[in-house]
Structure 1
Amino acid sequence: MSRVIRFHQYGGPEVLRIETVDVPAPGPGEVRIRVRALGLNRAEALLRSGNYIETPTFPSGLGLEAAGIVEAVGDGVDGFAPGDAVSIIPPRSMVRWPAYGELATYPAGLVVKHPPSLSWKEAAALWMPYLTAYGALIDIARLRCGDFVVITAASSSVGLAAIQIARMVGATPIAVTRTSAKRQALLDFGATHVVASAEEDLETKLKAIAGPHGVRVVLDAIGGPIFEPLTAAMSPGGILLEYGGLSPEPTPFPLFAVLAKTLTLRGYLVHEITGDPQRLENARTFILDGLQSGALRPTIDRIFLFEEIVEAHRYLEANQQFGKIVVTL
């Protein structure tokens, strides 16, 4: 028997329940993990509220990131044994492979022996932000030394990972945040420039920072009216990668900027990386090398207990965090 977190209907954080269920033995090619820490993601709040790209069957589990100890392995699994310290690459379906529980089972291909230098909390905060940022910036945009890159929602775990990755390859990260409250924290973290979009003219500031060459790469989680000033500041042939949609307002299509500059506006999901074995292996190598060199390090904002999952989701939706929210067991 294992305690798990499930929900029986769409709604706010209060619909999350801790329940006790039977957890079957791992099947062929699977690994069962005794979970020690969970990393929270906005996708989980979207699934819970009925606004995610995946449709749950009730009662539904949820969760995309976990770290823990291998408890059992199924037939045909090589390279893992009970007692191994591991973390999880986010699965395509959190309904099929939910992380929120004392025990969780995953395909062996999604299980990674993380560096021993990482704590359980850091390991649970690793793969979603760094795979997301790597896939957009390195795999797709080919971010390189000398590029200017704009990173919106910069204080999120993906935003902070993107700042570190940009610096790792010699690019100039421009962090965009709503107000100046987190300006100094972002500068201290490694952003070369910070723009408060609710307090400053975004287009003017970005053009002043990037100069006549403009911004080649934009990593955006927001959408909405911000598209127009972002694209106005981009360089000819630039690329904007959209991986979110946090704005409740409509997103205008900046037709004339796209035409005049031959811009690429591209939707992006981390599944593009995790679903391709070779791209995933390249990403894992890049991230593990960055961890070893010290260029990459997960940032933990706040830690909740498993029993505080409702409060943790409320905090997630308050958008106050700087880095990752983690739940420990």
Structure 2
Amino acid sequence: MTSTPLQTMPAVVMTAAGDPDRLEARDLPQPTLNGPNDVRVRLKAAGVNPIDTKVRRNGTFLPDSLPAILGCDGAGIVDAVGDAVTRFAVGDEVYFCYGGIGTRAGNYAGYTVVAEHVLAHKPASLDFVQAAAVPLVAITAWEALFDRARLQAGQTVLVQAGAGGVGHVAIQLARTIGARVATTVSTADKAALVEKLGAERAIRYRDSDVTAAIMDWTGGQGVDVGMDNIGGKLLEQTFPAVRFYGDVVSLLLPAADTDWRVARQRNQRTSLEVMLTPMLFGLVEAEKHQAQILQECATLIDQGELQIHVSEILPLHRAARAHELIESGSTTGKLVLQID
């Protein structure tokens, strides 16, 4: 097992639960390899996701884990490997989704150490900033559409909030297998974005009856799959747009007062998607599956079939500003922290 001498690195840490000002720039010791299957990555960029803001606001998943380095998404260069590592070598460019929720250190930092099996080779056609925007949203969209809702070629899908991080990837993944996509958006600019990414129907939900628009699009049948990326009442509002015996998948915990009657009457199969489950519960085989998803997405990206929309790039020390932008609710695509 080899590793460079202990040095310091830049990092942004969460000092306590609360507002974005709880994120503080510090110099910390570089992490070292702990086991033969560990890989140390010199991080070049970290994606910022809504889960980061929720952990910062509500606290980490483990007590006594503060200060904590947030950030599940990372991209960088392998700079040290354990003796049992076989798939990666020093100098390899990688991307991954791991850490950042209090169980292990995240990626708002210069370096991180992760197990070999969570890594994938970075898409060759993307720079590190673009690559860091991919993992969490790509895994989430893939698992929601293909593993949970079992979307098939020729089927129709409604992606709620299609201009968001997960939504804009879900549109494209659905198109890669030959599914037809409708989506909801709030503005004309977002409608233009999702149509460029392959959505057949962009529904301005503030100005339109979404269910009526879907029924018009599907000849009165409803879509085969409804994907809720927002939660709250939107899950309940998705049910009438989905056909009898169709599938509904949600990324959020259903509200306690959700009215399930329409879903029940239509015999809809409902699923929940939480891509963090493998990390939270140490499900190694599921973590390997997620790494394989990233490897397949890398192929799609390099073939030009999957694009990632990065709306803003900020330096690492401005992580608090990135959290503010996400919590404003008006962002499209992904925000990324650049690490130099």
Tell whether the structures are fold-level matches, with TM greater than 0.5. Answer: yes
CA distance in 2, matches of 1:149, 1:212: 14
CA distance in 1, matches of 2:42, 2:100: 21
CA distance in 2, matches of 1:152, 1:56: 37
CA distance in 1, matches of 2:25, 2:59: 22
Unpaired runs of 5+ residues, structure 2, are 1-7
Aligned to 1:263: 268
Deviations 1:107-137 (A, max 9, x none): 1111222132211111111211111111111
User: What root-mean-square deviation, in Å, do the aligned CA atoms of Structure 1 and Structure 2 show?
Assistant: 2.3
CA distance in 1, matches of 2:66, 2:25: 14
Aligned to 1:314: 324
CA distance in 2, matches of 1:211, 1:55: 52
Mapped contact 1:89–1:112 kept (Cα < 8 A): no
Return the offset for 1:74.
Answer: 2.2
CA distance in 1, matches of 2:136, 2:86: 24
Q: Indicate the SS of the match to 2:213.
A: helix
Aligned to 2:192: 184
Return the offset for 1:198.
Answer: 2.3
State which of 273, 280, 285 in structure 1 corresponds to 2:290: 280
Alpha carbons of 1:171 and 1:51: their partners in 2 closer, same or farther (altered >3 Å)?
Answer: farther
Return the offset for 1:242.
Answer: 0.9
CA distance in 2, matches of 1:25, 1:202: 52
Percent identity over paired residues: 25
**1:46 maps onto 2:54 in alignment:** yes
Unpaired runs of 5+ residues, structure 1, are none
Mapped contact 2:120–2:294 kept (Cα < 8 A): no
Alpha carbons of 1:85 and 1:279: their partners in 2 closer, same or farther (altered >3 Å)?
Answer: closer
State which of 305, 311, 316 in structure 1 corresponds to 2:315: 305
- Matched letter for residue 70 of structure 2: L
Aligned to 2:23: 16
State which of 160, 163, 167 in structure 1 corresponds to 2:171: 163
Mapped contact 2:118–2:288 kept (Cα < 8 A): no
Return the offset for 1:251.
Answer: 6.0
- Matched letter for residue 19 of structure 1: R
State which of 5, 10, 14 in structure 1 corresponds to 2:12: 5
Alpha carbons of 1:313 and 1:271: their partners in 2 closer, same or farther (altered >3 Å)?
Answer: closer
Return the offset for 1:49.
Answer: 0.1
Mapped contact 1:88–1:112 kept (Cα < 8 A): yes
Mapped contact 1:151–1:219 kept (Cα < 8 A): yes
Return the offset for 1:32.
Answer: 1.0
CA distance in 2, matches of 1:50, 1:251: 19
Alpha carbons of 1:54 and 1:293: their partners in 2 closer, same or farther (altered >3 Å)?
Answer: farther
Mapped contact 2:61–2:101 kept (Cα < 8 A): no
Mapped contact 1:91–1:110 kept (Cα < 8 A): no
Q: Indicate the SS of the match to 1:200.
A: coil
CA distance in 1, matches of 2:100, 2:290: 13
CA distance in 2, matches of 1:225, 1:51: 25
Q: Indicate the SS of the match to 2:69.
A: coil
- Give the length in aligned residue pairs: 326
TM (norm. structure 1) is 0.91
After TM superposition, the structure 1 stretch with the greater mean CA deviation from structure 2, 253-262 or 317-326, is: 253-262
After TM superposition, the structure 1 stretch with the greater mean CA deviation from structure 2, 176-185 or 147-156, is: 176-185
CA distance in 1, matches of 2:287, 2:59: 29
After TM superposition, the structure 1 stretch with the greater mean CA deviation from structure 2, 201-210 or 129-138, is: 201-210
Q: Indicate the SS of the match to 1:211.
A: coil
- Matched letter for residue 262 of structure 1: N
CA distance in 1, matches of 2:292, 2:41: 25
CA distance in 1, matches of 2:246, 2:328: 32
Deviations 1:138-161 (A, max 9, x none): 122221222111111211121111
- Matched letter for residue 44 of structure 1: D
State which of 243, 249, 252 in structure 2 corresponds to 1:244: 252
Aligned to 2:5: none
CA distance in 2, matches of 1:287, 1:307: 29
Return the offset for 1:269.
Answer: 1.0
Mapped contact 1:31–1:108 kept (Cα < 8 A): yes
Mapped contact 1:6–1:19 kept (Cα < 8 A): yes
**1:77 maps onto 2:82 in alignment:** no
Alpha carbons of 1:218 and 1:106: their partners in 2 closer, same or farther (altered >3 Å)?
Answer: same
CA distance in 2, matches of 1:76, 1:43: 32
**1:35 maps onto 2:40 in alignment:** no
CA distance in 1, matches of 2:227, 2:236: 14
Return the offset for 1:82.
Answer: 1.9
CA distance in 1, matches of 2:323, 2:245: 39
Alpha carbons of 1:131 and 1:56: their partners in 2 closer, same or farther (altered >3 Å)?
Answer: farther
- Matched letter for residue 269 of structure 1: V
Q: Indicate the SS of the match to 1:86.
A: strand
**1:217 maps onto 2:222 in alignment:** no
